[in-house]
Every structure is written in structure tokens, then in C-alpha cells.
Amino acid sequence: SLYLYQNQFLPKDQVSISPDDRGYYFGDGIYEVFRVYNGVLFEPEGHYRRLEKSAREVRIPLPYNIERMHQYLVELIQANHIQEGTVYLQITRGTAPRSHPFPPLDTEPVLMAYCNQIARPLSTMEQGITAITADDIRWLKCDLKTLNLLANVMAKQEALVQGAGEVILHRKGTVTECSSSNFMIVKKGEILTHPANNLILHGITREVVFRLARKLDIVYHERAFTIEDLHSAEEAFISGTTVEITPVISVNGRAVGQGNPGPVTRKLQQAFEQLVNSL
């Protein structure tokens, strides 16, 4: 498969990243994961806007503008003949001997991107997944999509060890999001999800869910809720670029609602399906 490395298309085995890359030492970089449906990038503007925000706030200059970036990603998708899949893009602060301060101003950021051909997660979207809860021990800039994912990785692994598909993170009982997706519950037929502040990643799929909810006349609130609210919720689901809209049918071994994907979740999934099929 062909990778994009800086401004070149190269086979994977010709992409060489220095051991002095600051991404390797410090997780000093940012990334995006895009979905490709039918050979086309899904919601690219949202991803580019978020990438620009992450770059600005961690002060990594983007190596080229968004139009150029888009051209490269489209070329990458075509060169790899991707119909259904993802594009992973990361940019680190560049290569320099290990030292905490930013490297000299002329240090070039290192950009790398590749595609994966992957099918949509049809069976988990149909059946739903189970989840556990865990303390959200992450830092206070969870709205930036940075490479510092150790807390997310640890939490996800704990879920898998316990036989669950995702982990719902909370700060002192207030639910934020999941290790690699946003989290929503349904109470009295209305959607609740944590507000888009510094404590969660502002998911592109989360925005798509809002758009679909408006179209379907489903009320939604960007309002924090607690683990207790979750335990009395009728429905719960996660949203994310690769998981799309996936029902959560139990939490810590307790059924959510009837223990099946609920009607609001199903309506949203159907609308999402229509959107994807219209691309």
C-alpha cells in the first residue's frame, strides 16, 4: 500500500521515521481519522477544521494548506483503490534530539498518511456492544486530537480484558465520552450527551447525529449527565468515524433499557444508512 510521507507517495517499507521524531518520544503530534464511503471522503470539512484547531492549539504549523491536503488525500485514496475504509493522517512536531522545549523554528513537521480498506461494523451496529465504566484520568484538553492516547489505550484495554467493547469515561460520576468514541443516552425519548467543551473530543459523527436528530424531530441536549442517569436510561449508543452509531446494550453487566438496541438509536442508524447510501 502507498503512504503519503511529507509530499511524496511511497510504499510503506520506504517510509522511514527517525527515532528522534517527537511523536515517538513525547506523543508530540496530532492526527485525524477520516471515513471513506464509496471512494469519497466523508465530512472532510469537519475533519480539516478540527485538524486546524488541534494544530493551532499545540502550535504545530501545518506543512501545507487544506486545499493541498485534500488533494493529497484524494490522490492517496485513488492510488490505493479504497472504496470502503479509513484514512489515517498524523503530523508530529518533527525530528530533533530529545529535549522538552520546542525544537528550532526551522524544524519541519513530519506528516504521514495511509489508508485502510475496512468494512463497516455491521454486526456490532446490529447487535450492539457491552461497556464498562472507568475514571476519566485524561488531561484537560481532550478536545485536541493529539497522539497522547495512553489513558485512552489503558481504558480500552481494561474494557477488552473484561469482555466489553468500549469503556465509558466519567469525571466524579459525570459521563464525558468513551475511549475512542462519543457517548449518548436516551431519556424520555430525548438524547443527552456531554457538551462540546475541553473534556471531550468534538466528534464529527456526533455532529452528524445532531443533524440527523434535527431532521427526524428527535430532541437532543448537549448537557452533562451522570452514571446514575445512564443506569436509568432507555437507550445508549456510541458515535465515531469507524463505529458510526453503535448501540450500547449493557453497562457494567446491567442491561440498558430492555438490553436491546432501542427505537431512537435505530431511527438514527437508519438515517445514517440513508446518508451513506446517498454518497
Q: In terms of CB distance, is 79 or 149 closer to ligand PMP?
A: 149
Rounded least distance, CB 182 to ligand PMP, Å: 5
CA dist list (Å): 87 to 41, 78, 176: 9, 12, 26
Question: Cell numbers at residue 74, please?
Answer: 484524494
Instruction: Name the grid cell of 45.
Output: 470539512
Question: For ligand PMP, which residue of 54, 130, 146, 182 counts as binding (CB under 6 A)?
Answer: 182
Q: Is 204 in the site for ligand PMP (CB under 6 A)?
A: yes
CA–CA distance, 46 with 34 (Å, rounded to integer): 10
Give me Rg for the CA atoms of the chain: 19
Residue entry with cell 468534538: 202
**In the complex, minimum distance from the CB of residue 278 to ligand PMP, in angstroms, rounded to a whole number:** 19
Least gap, CB of 206 to ligand PMP (angstroms): 6
3-state SS of the chain: helix, strand, coil percent to 5? 30, 30, 40
- Judged by CB under 6 A, the chain residues 53 through 82 that form the site for ligand PMP are none
CA torsion, points 70, 76, 79, 80, in degrees to nearest 10? -130
From residue 197, alpha-carbon distances to 23, 28, 48, 140, 242 in Å are 25, 22, 19, 10, 22
Q: Is 95 in the site for ligand PMP (CB under 6 A)?
A: no
Residues 6+ apart with CB under 8 A from 215: 271
* Residue 193 binds to ligand PMP (criterion: CB under 6 A): no
135-174 positions binding ligand PMP, by CB under 6 A: 152
Q: In whole angstroms, how close is the CB of 245 to ligand PMP at the nearest point?
A: 10
Touching ligand PMP, residues 216-275 (CB under 6 A): 239-241
Looking at the Cβ atoms of 95 and 180, the one nearer to ligand PMP is: 180
Interface region with ligand PMP, contact rule CB under 6 A, candidates 20-28, 92-100, 120-128, 175-183: 175-183
Residues that bind ligand PMP (CB under 6 A): 152, 177, 180-182, 201, 203-206, 239-241
Residues designated as active site: 145
